[in-house]
Structure 1
Amino acid sequence: MVNIRSLDPSASPLDYYGSELRRLREEAGLNQDQLGKILFCTGSLVGQIETAKKVPTRQFSERLDAGLMTGGLFSRLVGLVLKSQLPTWFQPYAELEARATYISTYQSQLVYGLLQTPEYARAVLSVDHPDRLDEMVAARMERQRILDREHPPVTCVVLDEAALRLEIGGPEVMRRQLQHLLGCMRRQWTQIQVLPFTVGQHAGMMGSFNLLRFEDDPDLFYAESYDAGHMTANPQVIRERSVGYARLQATALSREDSAALIARVMEERYGHQPGPAVA
């Protein structure tokens, strides 16, 4: 039976997306099953998105724009929808991250969110968001689109060696994640360095943090706790953390040595293990 749940388009970006989908589908004289066939999905999925019970993907939105000839409406809307799936306390940072021209980050245990594969992100997010995994992973992947812009931010990443060795999602997920990092290192505006265990005490021992720089706005420091993010443009904090980050970069391995370590860990720790010998 067709779901005719009433939506308030002003309630959220997801509700607005659903109401526009229903309006334009009905204007085209299509039922949910007919539109589903055009989009290579089920009519049930169309109905779930129309009633804001399921979050649309970017691929679904692009097919929808093509199928209903909307001029890119849903491809534009889906960014807002996915951003709204981020934790409320994180959304202000995500908006600023998207405007930054320089991103500098130190990560003490995990691969930086903008460099995570979908499988790695799913494993990380499953710890605290098992009931909203699809939405959270889609939102994280949407954040990564800033690295594919015509003018992406310069992104400098210092990863503690622990991030390479902490097994997230199993050996195959980690292997693909480290392989992805090696691919990211070939990007013109992305620099990845590894801080090896051998350095001992260092300037990042207080935990992960990000520094954002903008064209016209003050620099921003960001760090997060379990359920909140802390942002400040305090000049003294920016001064101290900028010096601390420069020391981390100086202490970390070079780009070439970092790539070699990532490749070595990928093969030695997460490489395909040979099966039992056949008699």
Structure 2
Amino acid sequence: MGVYLRVAGYAFRRYSTYRVATASAVVTNTVFGFLRAYILIALWQARPQLGGYDVADAVAFSFLTQALIGPVNVFAGSLELTGRIRTGDVAVDLHRPVDLQGWWLADDLGRAVFALVFRGVPTLAAGMVAFGIPLPGPATLAAFLGSAALAVLVGFALRYLVSLCCFWLGDERGLHTVSTVSTMFFSGMILPLVVFPGPLGEVARALPWAALIQVPADVFLGRHTGTGLLGVYAFQAAWAVALLGAGRALTRAARHRLMIHGG
């Protein structure tokens, strides 16, 4: 366990060195938060109570999604692991006395914590100041942080699977693009999933991408409490376990493939 904590700590420090990039990301996320907020305000003024949200919920949702872009890495369809697979450096990783999946998960958790604190919090704070978005109580805030942690796990598991496919495809860029587009559409990044009609909405809310943005945002808005909160936690945890398990099985297959082709 100690080595994974050190990997996570190193990742946190590594990302903290990119101060200009972090500041730029905060400004960009905040600006897009304002743009999306005004678009959603116009939509909800035309369709009040759409999807069970009011205008205040829609505005809060726009800034929450912008704040979660960094922690769940919405626009990154894969991990830096793909570069090591293409160059063959992954052979060194596989011979380390640590689990490959565990190593990259620890690295991603360190990155996610940094992104949440230094990118997510300032973006959400800007929305609170400009639009009066209320800060939830301690219990709801703690529930949100728990949901956000599970969202990070699901996001990592999805990107890890895409990265491992590079063992077979040789180039992950096509799959990376498909993964990114799917994440943006089905997570609620473009529009809240509550506005998706009929069967499309039901399917979208059952897919793993919903665990990345829509579920944590609804927890922050207080739409899930008591047994309902346990239900969404179970939803996120089930997808995290299933996808991490698939990643572990694919890691074993990739190791076997590397041994066959690399000796």
What TM-score comes out, normalization by structure 2 length? 0.29
Larger radius of gyration: 1
More strand by percentage: 1
User: Does 1 or 2 have the higher relative contact order (CA < 8 Å, sep 6+)?
Assistant: 2
Normalising by structure 1, we get a TM-score of 0.28
Structure in which a larger fraction of residues adopt helix: 2
